[in-house]
Structure 1
Amino acid sequence: MRKFLPETIPMSSSAPDQMSAIAIEGGKGPAEALKAVQIERPRPGPGQILIQVRAAGINRPDILQRLGAYPPPAGAPDTMGLEVAGEVVEAAGRWKVGDRVCALLGGGGYAEYAVCDARHALPIPQGLDFIQAAGLPETVFTVYANVFEHGGLKAGETLMVHGATSGIGVTAIQMGKAAGAKVIATARGAAKAASAKALGADIAVDATAEDFAQVARAEGGCDVILDMVGGDYFAKDLDAINTGGRIVFIASQGGGEVTLPIWRVMMKRAVITGSTLRPRDADEKARLAEVIERVVWPWIAAGKVRPPVDATFPLAEAAKAHAHLEGGTHVGKIVLTA
């Protein structure tokens, strides 16, 4: 059930010294590991803004951090949370107090307040509430950097998106279509494939029942594949791409080791690449933010990109939100409300 936060919230003259946040206190499962605690409110440094968080996106890297497999970069908070939406309460750069922003963080979004580099915040697009906006930064930055910069997707080309009903997947479908590409989406199960088609994919493949490489070849092949699965998908990716095609990895949920048939890569003139977002330096993230505001924000304003929110949970129920994400039934984003 969607829940909406009020769009106009009275601002206090000063933020409190303490705030609620979600800490990782040990254990592997979400209920054992995630606890609501009171911690000191962060203080913004030079060039940073303080945001009163109204909503925070949940992402799979948060689960990896909870499991101890994805530590925060140097200088980032130990608490999780890579994207938030809220209001500026201490300003810097182009922002003023009261501005409604969504922001990309190095961490610390599961809290009532968060700091970020002022250059990594973007205005909430017209017509979006805090919940919808909180699901934009991590996904949009990831898709743009990997599909459009590393993958070089162009209008008229064909994009294949694996994991099509994830937060990244639904965003990639819509951004690919907004850019004028044909989109083939893969998902596990007929219901998820149907959801991907409803979200705008031209072709949706149930990867549990169909060979996505055969489907791709029948459709003329793929120019770019966004792969968050890895493992045995890689061999089929090579079958599916056209000559000069690009395979871009952003995760390896199906296995991190693959066999690379060099001769086939040579014959296809294939480019195999991948990236992570969180470890990039502040200047690089600022560059991405500027490009995304110029290129992607007009797509959002035009209604071409508006990823769905599957579920919301109060901040104190972050463990339930993680369990929901790990359950794999969601279509779109899962968001915490502060």
Structure 2
Amino acid sequence: MSLISKVPFQLSGRYAEHNKWENLNGPSDSRVTGKQIIEDEGLVDAWSDKVVFITGVSSGMGPETVRVMALTGATVFGTARNLEKAKKALGASLLDSGRVHLLFMDQTDLSSVRACAAEFRKQSPKLNVLINNAGLTSDPGNVHPEQRTQDGFELQFGTNHLSHFLLFHLLSDVLLASSTPSFHSRVINVSSSGHRYGPLRLDDLNFDSAGTYEGWAAYGSSKTANIYMANAIERRYGARGLHGLSLNPGSFVSPNLQQHCQESIDAAQEVDRMQKYFVSLEQACATSVYGAVSKDLEGKGGLYLEGASVAGPVPEDGDAVEYGYAMWAFDEGKEEQLWRVSERMIGVDQRQLEAQ
């Protein structure tokens, strides 16, 4: 008997059935794409009054997320450290449409995040959806285990979590002001099934202790931080019309991962079970799009999404590709502790910002 037949199905929602084992057949199978979700929601050219901000749009599923969200007619701002690479990935026709604007942001440098947020505020008085999509893994093989951001933080934690945490703090007032009774503002944090590699190390977020660094553990810690941030946003701002959601986009070949672990990716693609779980970029962006636009999620937050569906906890006997979140993914005490520590790290106090 296969493992999949022993565990309960972990997804719920209109697209959940497409994610069942018997329907999986690898990239471009019956699982929904981001474009299909926009069409299903009746949102083609329906969001001309909305603004969407997406980080990391030069590679991976970033460009496809921009393309799909632009179908709504919304004004879309995308960020990249390499603007020429982003322009090539997005294409001239999209950039010439007047719907998509590129902003420079190097998320390994918090001063760059601040500059980007300031530039966005000059260009737009509104923000309805913030999709924190950018992410990287430094080096799971530990060839260069001591990589740090320009501010001295462990590279994955600093880039994947702290830069997005700062960006949210700098734009939270715009998100709150843009929320309406018919559409509450949303923050979408792109996490990963990699959060299941291990719990957040709150006592050693930068892996400074001698001999503690391990690439995948640091990556998993940063991805758990993405979930904690979304949960804390919901608790702090949900009643005010601003909601936080986190998600796993699914397994796809990302250049940011591929450059460090091609051997692992090749090995995974040779395993039939893992092959069936892999998705195309068009499918990978679907969960971000679902979180950003779905009417089923209106007024909701503090949820972990997978397969354009709401996910439950991973079964105890689930394997590395099974749907679901780790037992440590929802922990109010640790979420609040991370929030306070992150504020100190980025040098802001949200209470002071809100009082301005």
Q: TM-score, normalised by structure 1?
A: 0.37
Larger relative helix fraction: 2
TM-score, length of structure 2 as denominator length: 0.36
Q: Which has the higher strand share?
A: 1
Asked which structure has the greater RCO (Cα within 8 Å, sep 6+), the reply is: 2
